[in-house]
Structure 1
Amino acid sequence: MNDSPPPTPAPLSPDELGHRLTEVFDLVGPLYRRALRKVEQGEPVEGVSVGVRAVLDLLRQHGPMTVPQMGRTQALSRQFVQRMVNEASVHGWVEATPNPAHQRSSLIRLTEEGRAVITSVLGREHHLNRQVGGDLTDAEVSACVRVLTEILRTFDHVDVD
């Protein structure tokens, strides 16, 4: 009886990897657009656009950030992020606070109302995500996250402004 683990499969060659990752991109594009549409369909409920949702969730995850920091983190232009922050501010979901590290770039933080709104949006999204089938395992989801993280890292140098 051999108790050794099965051998680890060899990495794909760059050419094979390129072809397989094209399959991933062919799925990620439509998935992203459909998911955005679904979030936007909930806008009448919470009043949160997809862009504002991204800002609120980023602040929920990371705490107060500047607009440039949010833009870099989300690969979005500073101008777009500023418009989303302005929209969220009008609703009272975020507020600007002094930034001790940089006088001209305020820190943006969630208000309690903003935290409640993003919690509601995420709850609705979680309910939808629970409906994904396929009997997926933790290992499969972890592998997916690892692959997408590596792909994203490849494009870290792309300027969004």
Structure 2
Amino acid sequence: MTDALEQYRLLIADVYELAGISRRTSEDIAREAGQTAARWHVLSVLSDGPRTVPNAARRLGLTPQSVQRVVGDLLAAGQAEAVPNPDHARSPLIALTDEGRDTLERLFARSEAARERLLTRAGTDAEELRQATETLRRLLDVLRTPG
């Protein structure tokens, strides 16, 4: 086994662990705001523009069925709305409403102090995070492309 392969395996294990711990922390923050981490994650994915449920699910690494349940909750709560999809009549785009954006902003505000403390304790700066993000995105791009 090459060193790069071993480092890749360790990276993936750490990403899973980081995601799990982050989800638990997010759940605590969301609960304090009367939300769930699942809602927060879907709101966050929708924050950069409308998406279909399958697209949001892919971005989150979840099944479309589980994301559809959360989207249903967000639609019922007035935090998201379904808008026509010019590319696929039977798969509407899901967009944030003003209320959804306000909820997301409140969740982010609640989490900022905790995240700042985490980054300070870890001694991590913005450039290190940018480099890690670039590496992860290159891996994701290759994994998404068959071949």
- Give the TM bin, normalised by the shorter chain: 0.7 to 0.9
> What residue is the counterpart of 2:130 in the other structure?
142
Matching of residue 58 in structure 1 with residue 45 in structure 2: yes
CA shift in 2, pair 1:66/1:26, >3 Å: closer
Give 1:46-85 correspondences, 5 Å limit. Answer: 46-61=33-48, 63-85=49-71
RMSD: 2.1
Shift of 1:126: 2.2
Counterparts of 1:123 and 1:98, CA distance in 2: 31
Give unmatched runs, 5+ long, in structure 1: 1-13
Q: Which runs of 4+ in 1 moved over 4 A?
A: none
Aligned to 2:21: 34
Which runs of 5 or more residues in structure 2 are unaligned?
A: none
Aligned mates of 2:45, 2:52 — CA distance in 1: 11
1:128 is aligned to 2:84: no
Distance of aligned partners of 1:134 and 1:100 in 2 relative to their CA distance in 1, 3 Å threshold: closer
Q: Which secondary structure does the structure 2 equivalent of 1:57 belong to?
A: helix
Q: Percent identity?
A: 28
Which amino acid counterpart does residue 131 of structure 2 have in structure 1?
A
TM-score, normalisation: structure 2: 0.84
What number of residue pairs does the alignment pair up? 144
Range 77-86 or range 39-48, more displaced: 39-48
SS of the residue 1:150 aligns to: helix
User: Are 1:23 and 2:10 an aligned pair?
Assistant: yes
SS at match of 2:94: strand
More helix by percentage: 2
Letter in 1 for 2:44: D
Task: Provide TM-score, normalisation by structure 1.
Answer: 0.77
Output one character per residue of 1:36-92: Cα deviation in whole Å (capped at 9) or x when no partner: 11111123322322222121111112x122212222333322111111100112221
> Per the alignment, in what secondary structure is the counterpart of residue 108 of structure 1?
strand
Q: What is the distance in 2 between the residues matched to 1:50 and 1:71?
A: 15
Which has more radius of gyration? 1
1:48 is aligned with what amino acid? Q
